[in-house]
Amino acid sequence: MLEKTFCHLPGIGVRTEEKFWAAGVRHWDDFAHAAALVSPHKHAQAAELLAASRDRLAAGDAEFFAARLPPQEHWRLWPHFAHATAYIDIETTGLGKGLDHITSIALSDGRSVRTYVHGRNLDAFQDDIRDFKLLVTYNGRSFDAPFIEREMRIALPKAHVDLRFLLKRVGLTGGLKRCEKALGLGRDELDGVDGYFAVLLWRRFADSGAASALETLLAYNVEDVLSLAPLLRHAAEKLLCATPFAACVPLPDCLCVSNPHQPDAELVRKLKGIYFRGR
């Protein structure tokens, strides 16, 4: 999709890009034919950056495009960088701004899942994330990414697909779990469990050391990343249908990744009872 993209070029927005496509300028190789659609100065500027774009794509430089594409178009990076995509989600103590900290992080590369726990192996995340060039989150631009960068004092990849906004563009709203249900994705024993339960699970683990509480928390955390790839593919398919490229841009396959953690069903039922009694 990137080789059909022009909205990262200076002075060319998504509307001008659509005019290019309508006029038959549908690949970087066609750009000479765009001279009649923009001013000579704009065309010359864009042509110079387009030459750099070829080099940067060949070099696998996702940051180059992330810095120039509108954030809502970062999804176009996925077909090229699926092999270096990190699907991530964090859980926190939820104690309030300035007091809270990360309790766990789940990271999937689309083939397997890794988890990181406060007080155990959380620091390993900052080494592992260096292997990736593209982030995929749900609401991560405003929450997960800045939280991680602030607490861990690291810089995450700037190429970032936030599905909260991408899914809204294709008509899916109401939170991650509602979007999952719209696509027929379920969570079995963890159905109905939300972020507040994750806070309760961490408190139980921190207070008592109960292994079942941590295992259930990690199972919940992992579920939040396992749905990101199929949701991204769904949104990308919908967005491609609004372009001339629906039939000619292959999208990455979404493998069925199993959750390595198992929730304690009895503990979930107990916490649900506490939660609903307190409402």
Residue 163 · residue 242 · CB < 8 Å: no
Q: Residues near 45 by Cβ (< 8 Å), separated by ≥ 6?
A: 9, 10, 11
Residue 217 corresponds to which tokens in the numbers above?
């928390």
40-47, Cβ contacts within 8 angstroms, sequence gap of 24 or more:
42/10, 42/11, 42/12, 45/9, 45/10, 45/11, 46/6, 46/9, 46/10, 46/11, 46/12
Every domain of the chain and the residues it spans: 2-59, 82-277
pLDDT of residue 189: 84
pLDDT tens string 212-231? 999 999 999 999 999 999 99
* Cα-to-chain-centroid distance, residue 99: 26
Strands (E), the chain: 85-92, 102-108, 113-117, 134-137, 160-162
pLDDT of residue 271: 82
CATH superfamily of 82-277: Ribonuclease H-like superfamily/Ribonuclease H (3.30.420.10)
Q: Which amino acid is at 277?
A: R
User: 126 — phi, psi (to 5°)?
Assistant: -65, -25
pLDDT of residue 192: 80
Query: pLDDT tens digits, the chain, 279 residues: what are they?
Result: 999 999 999 999 999 999 999 999 999 999 999 999 999 999 999 999 999 999 999 999 999 999 999 999 999 999 999 999 999 999 999 866 677 999 999 999 999 999 999 999 999 999 999 999 999 999 999 999 999 999 999 999 999 999 999 999 999 999 999 999 999 998 888 888 888 889 999 999 999 999 999 999 999 999 999 999 999 999 999 999 999 999 899 999 999 899 999 999 999 988 877 665 554
H/E element, 15:
helix 14-22
Tell me the C-alpha distance between 54 and 40, whole Å: 21
Residues forming a β-bridge with 86: 135
Q: Measure Cα distances from 227 to 76, 131, 263 in Å.
A: 19, 21, 17
The number of beta carbons lying within 10 Å of the beta carbon of residue 267 is: 18
